[in-house]
Chains A and B, each alone.
Chain A
Amino acid sequence: MDIAVEVKDLVKVFGNIRAIDGISFNVHSGEIYGLIGPNGAGKTTTLRILATLLQPTSGTAKVFGYNVVRDAENVRKIISYLPEEAGAYNQLTGREYLEFMASFIAKNEEDVKSMVAEAAQISGLGKRLSDKIKTYSKGMKRRLLVARALMIKPKLAILDEPTSGLDVIHAVHVRKIIKEYAQKYKIAVLISSHNMLEVEYLCDRIALINKGKILIEGTPSELKEKYNASNLEEVFASVVSIHG
């Protein structure tokens, strides 16, 4: 199985804060990998480094063999990044936004059309795609952004809290789509989430991260068994209490 993401001894320091403190993990092609942990654990910083937005202080991070610092441009060609607090251009319509985003990846107009059609299906926004984004609710915006991230069928999707701001119905829909896309198109997905239910449903493997360090890694069932827990929340609580 191809290694989609290879992170080795990654460290990121902001001023006098060690946001990431020597983490290592791998994500395989077609795998959904979850980073879970409390606020300030280092999840978003890790995802931003992999999305080539931040540079590591030390250590290496590679995406399908491309170094995120040296080969950043090649990395950007095969990834799709959805930030947690992402927004969209309020003055554009949903369709114009998708076309704008697709045009950087598509080879021709036909590709743009097919990507936008795909996004329309993922988002379920229908006729509302013709309306300006400023008229969208928070949930509609999030669905549009998830659709934008998946419509290009990237080799690696980096999704930071993908269902943040969605109601239960739409959150279920989006999780289903992510899982389908990962299986159907062999997309590697790296997710960060607070929602243990979501992580358990979606992820093939997870890593618990706290204070910039990975405390434990494995499949949800392995971890539950190891800590004799009925769900991942209990696992998380046990791990944090053991590691302080």
Chain B
Amino acid sequence: MVRALINIVKKEIKEILRDPRLFLGMILVPLIMFPALGFGMRAAIESSIKQTQTTTIAVLNLDRGEMAEQIFKNPNLIAVLEQNNISIVYLNDHGISSKNEAINYLIRNESISALLVVPENFSECISNQTPATIQVYTVLRSFSFEGAAGSSRVNIAIGIIKQLLANYLIISMDPNADPVFITNPIVPFPVTIYKDKEIRGVPPELITGLMFSQIFMLPLSVMFLLMIAVQFAAISVASEKEQKTLETLLSLPVKRTTILAGKLTGSILIALVGAVGYMAGFGFYMSSIMPAEEFPISMEELAELGLMIPVEGYILLGITVFLSLLACLSMAVVLAAFAEDVRSAQALLSFLFIPMVILGFVAIFMTMGGIGQEFVTVLLFVPFTNPMVAGIQIFNGKYLLVILGIIVISIETIGFIYLAAWFYSSEKVLVARLRFGKKSVERELEVEEITTSE
């Protein structure tokens, strides 16, 4: 039996890997697509960072007083800005004295990121302790990373100017005062309490971000695995019908359950490779567009705090994924046996699985929104959606609920496997056919048309 099983698995894998439709469409393209996107994005970001290494900001000083000139020509300011790769072009020194001329200059010179227009009443406002409005002109030249990066550097420059001005004002009021201390009199130290444990030095938004990324990525990878496996299993059966090899296979001295197990194992193995590839590619893509911030505490500490799934959680998750895989594949091979070719099998499956994927996503978003716990719990008892929501429950420490889900889907999985085994042991696997008539609702289960087959 083991030899027969290995033979069937080997044959299944060979067929899938050699079929360009399957290999290209379901394995190679997704494997290449995400990393290629990631490379593209990373290259774009890196090139924009290179281009914005030095940001030049033009300043038009219309101040009737002297304060603005003192600030913008202050060697300290220029030095600090240079440290941040920001240089200033003082337009008044280039014979420009009106706003219109300055705006034209900005438009003509692509190397200038922004124009700061200091108002006529600047000195007056500062002296009266009234905030002065500095207009910041920016030309939106393209929707590129370069534009976004340049804009953030203009904000940095304005921040530095504000700090320097504050220092200047503080010293002018009290020459003995320490402006650095006065502008930063307190240092906030975040302490987040999670499940009665103190997480020191980590603000809650960082933890929420980490949880959300895991809550989202985990079900997504499980869904990929299930979808690919289900597709392969269905194609495996439907292609036997399409190639007219099923009758010969079923007349061989090998148990029907072995044939079934061989098809399921082959599909799971290929799907695992596909899913790992998908997720590796997707992970690479995500890391390319969102470079990971340094997390203030280590992974080990996060696991101890219950912010990462612990080993027992992964074991439970593994069990739910395995059971769901078996249940879904059993459903898929039975459904596919009703189809006459690969295309009809895929269409038939999409009717069943697309609503389930939607349900799964709804559950994830509801959980992220902190609503609909009853709905999420119900999905725990459905084989396809179970592993998608089980991860969330494990995060929330609801192990009993997850175990209850495992018990329920175990029973369902046994039922589905039994149904598939019964179906493949009977003549139904050969004669059952679901025909889609002109009206989609008119479907009838037909027996083989004996008059045309002989």
- Which residue numbers of A lie inside 8 Å of B, CB to CB? 14-15, 17, 19, 39-45, 48, 51-55, 73, 76-77, 79-92, 96, 100-101, 103-105, 132, 145, 148
Once the chains bind, are B454 and A53 in contact (CB under 8 Å)? no
8 A/B residue pairs, CB under 8 Å, sorted by A: A44-B450, A81-B247, A82-B248, A86-B248, A88-B243, A89-B243, A105-B253, A148-B248
Contact with A along B418-454 (1 / 0, CB 8 A): 0000000011001100000000000000011011111
Contact residue among B14, B254, B447 (Cβ-Cβ distance under 8 Å from A92): B14
Say whether B7 faces chain A, with CB atoms less than 8 Å apart.
Answer: yes
Residues of chain B lying within 8 A (CB to CB) of residue A44? 450, 453-454
Residues of chain B lying within 8 A (CB to CB) of residue A45? 450, 454
Once the chains bind, are B245 and A54 in contact (CB under 8 Å)? no
State the 8 A-B residue pairs at the shortest beta-carbon distance, nearest first.
A87-B244, A40-B451, A91-B18, A81-B251, A76-B253, A14-B447, A87-B243, A77-B253
Give how many B residues have a beta carbon under 8 Å from the other chain's beta carbons. 30
CA distance A85 to B14 in the complex (A): 23
Residues of chain B lying within 8 A (CB to CB) of residue A48? 247, 430
Say whether B49 faces chain A, with CB atoms less than 8 Å apart.
Answer: no
With contacts A39-B454, A86-B244, A91-B18 taken as known, whether A79 is within 8 angstroms of B447 at the C-beta atoms is no
With contacts A45-B450, A54-B427 taken as known, whether A100 is within 8 angstroms of B11 at the C-beta atoms is yes
What is the chain B residue whose CB lies nearest that of A81? B251
Tell me the minimal C-beta distance from B429 to chain A in angstroms.
Answer: 9
Once the chains bind, are B427 and A53 in contact (CB under 8 Å)? yes
Say whether B250 faces chain A, with CB atoms less than 8 Å apart.
Answer: yes
- Which residue numbers of B lie inside 8 Å of A, CB to CB? 3-4, 7, 11, 14-15, 18-19, 243-245, 247-248, 250-255, 426-427, 430-431, 447-448, 450-454
What is the chain B residue whose CB lies nearest that of A41? B454
CA distance A58 to B100 in the complex (A): 100
Contact residue among B3, B7, B243, B431 (Cβ-Cβ distance under 8 Å from A90): B243
Residues of chain A lying within 8 A (CB to CB) of residue B244? 83, 85-87
Residues of chain A lying within 8 A (CB to CB) of residue B448? 14
Residues of chain A lying within 8 A (CB to CB) of residue B452? 39-40
What is the chain A residue whose CB lies nearest that of B450? A19
What is the chain B residue whose CB lies nearest that of A90? B243
Contact residue among A86, A105, A132 (Cβ-Cβ distance under 8 Å from B245): A86
Contact residue among A15, A79, A100 (Cβ-Cβ distance under 8 Å from B7): A100
Residues of chain A lying within 8 A (CB to CB) of residue B245? 86-89
What is the chain B residue whose CB lies nearest that of A76? B253
CA distance A91 to B251 in the complex (A): 21
CA distance A76 to B448 in the complex (A): 22
What is the chain B residue whose CB lies nearest that of A16? B447
Tell me the minimal C-beta distance from B316 to chain A in angstroms.
Answer: 38
With contacts A86-B244, A89-B15 taken as known, whether A104 is within 8 angstroms of B253 at the C-beta atoms is yes
Contact residue among B248, B430, B451 (Cβ-Cβ distance under 8 Å from A54): B430
Once the chains bind, are B450 and A14 in contact (CB under 8 Å)? yes
Residues of chain A lying within 8 A (CB to CB) of residue B447? 14-15
Residues of chain A lying within 8 A (CB to CB) of residue B247? 48, 51, 53, 81, 83, 86
CA distance A51 to B7 in the complex (A): 22
With contacts A54-B430, A100-B7 taken as known, whether A42 is within 8 angstroms of B251 at the C-beta atoms is no
Tell me the minimal C-beta distance from A205 to chain B in angstroms.
Answer: 20
Residues of chain A lying within 8 A (CB to CB) of residue B4? 103-104
CA distance A54 to B428 in the complex (A): 9
CA distance A43 to B254 in the complex (A): 25
Once the chains bind, are A73 and B255 in contact (CB under 8 Å)? yes
Residues of chain A lying within 8 A (CB to CB) of residue B252? 76, 101, 104-105
CA distance A92 to B7 in the complex (A): 13
Residues of chain A lying within 8 A (CB to CB) of residue B251? 51-53, 76, 79-81
Tell me the minimal C-beta distance from B239 to chain A in angstroms.
Answer: 8
Tell me the minimal C-beta distance from A201 to chain B in angstroms.
Answer: 22
- Which of B3, B4, B19, B427 has most A Cβ within 10 Å? B427
Tell me the minimal C-beta distance from A79 to chain B in angstroms.
Answer: 7
What is the chain A residue whose CB lies nearest that of B252? A104
